[in-house]
Structure 1
């Protein structure tokens, strides 16, 4: 392959990245489909999350995890499945299984079942000994209006319990948590989280192109973005590099045509 190098674009850190993370959501793609994504865009993927409870019924899961391991991409068990396991009193069995099949990361959340912050942090501590933990802040209830100070306190507490990263809830729809029902970012909540822990410790769920562009324009090309669709990985990378109209003005240097 002849790789072009004639444009001036922001330099992206090599994997494993500590910032500029692209976190994707797998809603049930086949191993062949996963292989296609990794072949075309694997260098741009950092964390691959199995959405919802798909990992429990996906018979191609172990094959996909092997592909991710070979590609150097972190694999993350989605938080909904662990929440349900916790609610049924089998969280330890879920974590044992996740370790056995080869997950490197787990998401700990409390957006689906009733769970106190104390119980969430206890679950983070249990998981942190074996996995890299992503702690999600926020609920999936569209009627829940976020209180910035409460999100700040939860994020700090989760990191203190052993989480490596905070995930700011936005869902696959991009209409809850850090977004209003029209999909516009709630700037006050975002700024409170950033002020509390810094951009390097937060993954902002941003499934929509306009949301991805907003975060890149606000915090730069190395902001951490999550819940990116598997078909949108290269699209997000073009936004980071200023190769798409939404962010081209951030990096374009206008000169004479030669």
Structure 2
């Protein structure tokens, strides 16, 4: 017995994982910071999204790509950069650039520019020729109406077009899309999407610990969680395993905790 297998914990799948994915949002971490995260939590990370347009301006991108690839982590290009490229008629060039830089996944979204559902489906189909596509649903503006009614159809359309996973919008703030402006989960939206396509095909953006705990309590340790900050990867794993009060079983929370004689 090793010194870290003496507890009864939920079963966690090993990479390459089909469920229980931890999807990291990188807003501009330097190579040394990436190395530090990988040293302690590399095996817990499945997808590393280079957010917004930071990949386009990061001189250290090749070093980060090399480190993450060597660690077995899939790199994902953030959807905002591809949206902007698409709006300028440069989607093909953006995808070729991402392929050449070593990205295995791309996010296709329509939260920044005006894009119809058929146009989004066409972009997903084009990207799926060379990448595993994560298709994001939802607006980046707060207070989106009728999400529980409209998101399921968009999720099904995205998967039919060739996406492998759908991502529910939450942003870095955790106050839009899947959440209200106070950061509270909108259960009707979550349940509608999960029922439409299956929870295993959804990555729920959940940047806040309270949100992560909600999804783990609702769907279990193997729920897919996204927009996790690099520094929170270990924290999220403790939530998955019930090693924090937020997700520890009632029996554990109520135990006396007496030391053996």
Q: Secondary structure at the match of 1:25?
A: strand
Q: Distance in 2 between matches of 1:222 and 1:152?
A: 21
Partner of 2:235: 235
Q: Distance in 1 between matches of 2:134 and 2:250?
A: 30
Q: CA deviation at 1:218?
A: 0.6
Q: CA deviation at 1:5?
A: 1.1
Q: Secondary structure at the match of 1:49?
A: strand
- 1:145–1:177 CA contact under 8 A, matched in 2: no
Q: Secondary structure at the match of 2:235?
A: helix
Partner of 2:12: 12
Q: CA deviation at 1:249?
A: 1.5
Partner of 2:224: 224
Structure 1 residues 27-38: aligned runs within 5 Å: 27-38=27-38
Q: CA deviation at 1:156?
A: 0.2
Q: CA deviation at 1:62?
A: 1.2
Q: Distance in 1 between matches of 2:221 and 2:103?
A: 28
Q: CA deviation at 1:52?
A: 0.5
Q: Distance in 1 between matches of 2:65 and 2:4?
A: 31
Q: Secondary structure at the match of 1:180?
A: coil
- The answer to whether the aligner puts 1:163 opposite 2:168 as a matched pair is no
Partner of 1:247: 247
Structure 1 residues 1-258: aligned runs within 5 Å: 3-249=3-249, 252=252, 257-258=259-260
Q: Which runs of 5+ in 1 are unaligned?
A: none
Provide TM-score, normalisation by structure 1: 0.96
Q: Which runs of 5+ in 2 are unaligned?
A: none
Alignment root-mean-square deviation, CA? 1.4
Q: CA deviation at 1:251?
A: 7.9
